[in-house]
Amino acid sequence: MKIFLLILFSFPVFAQVSGTLIERGTRKILPEVNVFLLPQKLKATTDASGKFSFPEAVPGDCVLIVNLTGYQKYEKKNSCAGTDQVIYLEKVSYTGFETTVTGKVVKRDDQSHSLTQEEFIKTPGSFGGDPVRAAQNLPGVANNGANAQIIIQGASPDDTGYVINGHRVPLVFHFGGLSSVITPNAVERVDLLPSGYGPEYSRAIGGIVGLTTKAPKKDRFHGMAFVDLLNSGAMIEGPIDDKSSILVAGRYSYIGQVLKAVAKENEDFELTAAPSYYDFTTIYDRKLNEKNTLKATMVASKDQLELVLNKAANNDTDLRGNFFSSTEFFRVIPQINTEIDGNTKMENSLGLGHDSLFVDIGGRYLDVDSTVISQRSEIARTWNGKSKSYIGLDNYWQDSDVKVNLPNVYSVGGVNTPFSVGENRKFESKGSQTYLGAYLRQELKPTEESPWTFLPNVRVDHFTINKDTRFSPRFQTRYQVDPKLLLRGSWGQYVQTPQPQETSRLYGNKNIRSPYAWHYTLGFTKDFREDGSQGWELTNNYFYKDLKDLVYPDFQKNYANSGTGNIIGGEIQAKYRKNEWTSQFVYTYLKSRRHVPGYGTTPSEYDQTHNLNLIGAYNKERWTYSARFRYVTGNPYTPISGATFDADNDVYIPSRGRIYSQRFDSFNQLDIRIDRKYIFDEWILTAYLDILNIYNSRNSQNFEYSYDYTEKKKVRGLPILPTIGLKGEF
């Protein structure tokens, strides 16, 4: 017996030491990380699921150590008896850019500017990381005041197209332009396609703004919720099974209730505004089989605005009473991606939805309801190392019911006639419109090693709204001087349909042609970063747009293609990143001119000569400090030289001076944002302070005239607007 015990205790007794390594706060699994056990000098490496074990550990005092670059050192004593313990490894900083480097994002279109979620979510002046507001910092995007539309390179807002996952939507901004119609965390990327964009899109002679929704995460369930002074929202995403995942997000604004409460306590508050909005997004992603993936996105958005004018407007006695506006739409976008073989891919998608616009001004109204179906298909084929081909369809059908009871108050120069003297237009119409498009995109290289790439592209569009068919050639070229310097150029024709009222059989002209433009661009991108992430990136572009067949009011035909115009300019974007610092210098210079029948050549209403954005951010551990300064030349406006009294309607009718011959004061604004993160084992709390127009710059955007137009006062833009909020993520 003594011999047996001696043999038994002569063998070492091993302790059970094992666990899982997880990033603190995000619960991200950390594979391929070395874990050390001292003083026994043992080492283990975590596997793909973050697990590690020390099968040869012996009992006694020991220390478990993890020392990973970018994370705080983990050191725990008396850990030799721990089985399946969870180690939460805390990062040194949770605020910096970690994975995405903009200059290395693969882009099909050289003319595009793109922002990933990691970039726009941290952009100052974006009001909580909104993707479209962040895109307003990109080159060529003009200051739009309180307008909820995007103005690109001096074009009209009506010349900008909006798409979600490639499918046309009526808008991407909620009321007042404070936030986009999709919760930011559900967006993968926002793209700006200005002058010279490729053949995949059309029906926009100014440019395209596109949102691409993300694929829901599949590792586990993730969640996010936030609340601030203007709105609240939440999102949850995660796997359903081993082949599918889902994301659900929603947001609601209660700014209207806040303003109503203010008005109730203030008897002198003559204008009661009650704006409100909500949006809802669902994304479903499923691996159907080895070659097919389904991604289905549903987006719904609604905006409402109520005004009560207790007094008539100073210069329009007929404009009083209730004002109500409602804009809503939804889209269901199923998309199937197919990998036919290693060189051929195919995408097919539909957009199914409904658009609604209702405006009531004291009993006069505009009521538009549309059922919408859109369809996109594309086959992409890589032939060899020298060429690629993309063949696609881009079709859109719309069935609309329109009811109108409004006076025509439009006048060239932006000065409208009073509501009470405009010719009243009352009608109802129902009809369907079809917009068919097909395109071919070619990428050709003389040899596999050649620095030259030639892109001869073509697009064909047919519009039933005015029975117009357009053949639009487009050409792009790029020259890769070296891996860090790219030269590029483009030329092409871009066409868009007339507005529905311009082709109306009652008040329009059925013979109106489609406005179009020729785009010419030259530019380069230079990457000065030596290690791929630190240093300067520089982008410089020059553009010219020749606008043809612009539609203007005509005395005999109601509307005619009698206008022309041109836009010329240059833009520069310089980015700098160094450790905790990031900064951008974005500047656009342009001249936008229009030739208006009977008035000669004048500045465009959206001619903003200088547009400067200075953006900076400092990230330190759990803090982020960021700011944006913006300076923009004031918009042109048409002065009023006098007025004539209309006794029949008891109103003064303005006399216009030279159209767009004067300018509003230049626009300048400073926005700041401060974020502070609180890290817990399984979730992160962020407190943020976002202040727009911190020094309360009184930027003028319009004039309010007295009843006889002898006096005027400036209508100011957004005052200082602070927002305090909390955001939780797990």
The predicted structure's pLDDT at residue 568? 97
% of residues, the chain, pLDDT over 70: 88
Higher pLDDT, 257 or 457: 457
The number of C-alpha atoms within 13 Å of 211 and in the hemisphere containing its C-beta is: 30
Q: Which of 38, 68, 89 is the last residue of a domain?
A: 89
The predicted structure's pLDDT at residue 147? 59
Distance CA 285, CA 218 (A): 9
The predicted structure's pLDDT at residue 259? 57
Please give the residue range of the domain that contains residue 385.
222-427+435-729
Q: Identify residue 237 by its one-letter amino acid code.
A: E
Cα distances from 373 to residues 34, 168, 184, 410, in angstroms, run 54, 10, 25, 32
Task: Tell me: pLDDT of 82 over 90.
Answer: no
Q: Is residue 44 part of a domain?
A: yes
**Which tokens in the block code for residue 32?**
């391929």
Q: Is residue 203 part of a domain?
A: no
pLDDT band at residue 256 under the 50/70/90 scheme = low
% of residues, the chain, pLDDT over 90: 49
Q: Is residue 159 part of a domain?
A: no
For the range 307-312, what are the long-range contacts, defined as Cβ-Cβ under 8 Å and sequence gap of 24 or more? 307/271, 307/272, 307/273, 307/274, 308/271, 308/272, 309/270, 309/271, 310/270, 310/271, 311/270
121: three-class secondary structure by DSSP:
coil
Average pLDDT over residues 48-64: 83
Residue 562 has a CB neighbour count (10 Å cut-off) of 16
**Residue 604 C-alpha from the chain's centroid:** 25
The predicted structure's pLDDT at residue 260? 60
Task: Tell me: pLDDT of 272 over 50.
Answer: no
Sign of CA dihedral 657, 658, 659, 662: negative
Q: Is residue 196 part of a domain?
A: no
Instruction: List, for residues 325-382, the tens digit of each pLDDT value.
Output: 889 999 999 999 999 998 999 999 999 999 999 988 877 888 999 999 999 999 999 9
Element (H, E) at 196: none
The predicted structure's pLDDT at residue 709? 84
Instruction: List, for residues 681-709, the tens digit of each pLDDT value.
Output: 999 999 999 888 899 888 887 888 888 88
Distance CA 35, CA 68 (A): 9
Cα distances from 153 to residues 140, 199, 570, 589, in angstroms, run 5, 19, 9, 9
Report, in angstroms and rounded to the nearest whole number, the Rg of the chain calculated over CA atoms.
Answer: 30
Task: Tell me: pLDDT of 9 over 50.
Answer: no
The predicted structure's pLDDT at residue 706? 81
Instruction: List, for residues 167-225, the tens digit of each pLDDT value.
Output: 999 988 887 667 889 999 999 999 999 999 999 999 999 999 999 999 999 989 999 99
Would you list the DSSP string of 426-464? EEEEEEEEEEEEEEEEEEE-SSTT-SEEEEEEEEEEEET
The predicted structure's pLDDT at residue 199? 96
The answer to whether 476 and 519 have CB atoms below 8 angstroms apart is no
pLDDT band at residue 414 under the 50/70/90 scheme = confident
Q: Which of 66, 89, 112 is the last residue of a domain?
A: 89
The predicted structure's pLDDT at residue 145? 60
The answer to whether 35 and 57 have CB atoms below 8 angstroms apart is no
Q: Is residue 184 part of a domain?
A: no
pLDDT band at residue 323 under the 50/70/90 scheme = confident
**Residue 451 C-alpha from the chain's centroid:** 33
The answer to whether 130 and 173 have CB atoms below 8 angstroms apart is no
Q: Is residue 391 part of a domain?
A: yes
Residues whose CB falls within 8 Å of the CB of residue 555, separated by 6 or more in sequence, listed in order: none
Average pLDDT over residues 375-399: 94
The answer to whether 191 and 210 have CB atoms below 8 angstroms apart is yes
Number of domains in the chain: 2
The answer to whether 197 and 213 have CB atoms below 8 angstroms apart is no
Q: Is residue 212 part of a domain?
A: no
Q: Is residue 131 part of a domain?
A: no
Task: Tell me: pLDDT of 271 over 50.
Answer: no
Helical H runs in 86-183? 117-120, 131-135
Mean pLDDT for the chain? 86
Q: Which of 68, 89, 110 is the last residue of a domain?
A: 89
**CATH number where 500 lies:** 2.40.170.20
Instruction: List, for residues 131-159, the tens digit of each pLDDT value.
Output: 888 888 889 888 666 556 788 999 998 99
Distance CA 167, CA 111 (A): 20
**Whole-prediction pTM:** 0.89
689: three-class secondary structure by DSSP:
strand
The predicted structure's pLDDT at residue 12? 53
Instruction: List, for residues 568-593, the tens digit of each pLDDT value.
Output: 999 999 999 888 888 999 999 999 99
Cis before 39 (ω within 30): yes
Q: Which of 3-12, 116-125, 319-328 has the lowest mean pLDDT?
A: 3-12
**CATH number where 29 lies:** 2.60.40.1120
pLDDT band at residue 314 under the 50/70/90 scheme = low
Residue 343 has a CB neighbour count (10 Å cut-off) of 12
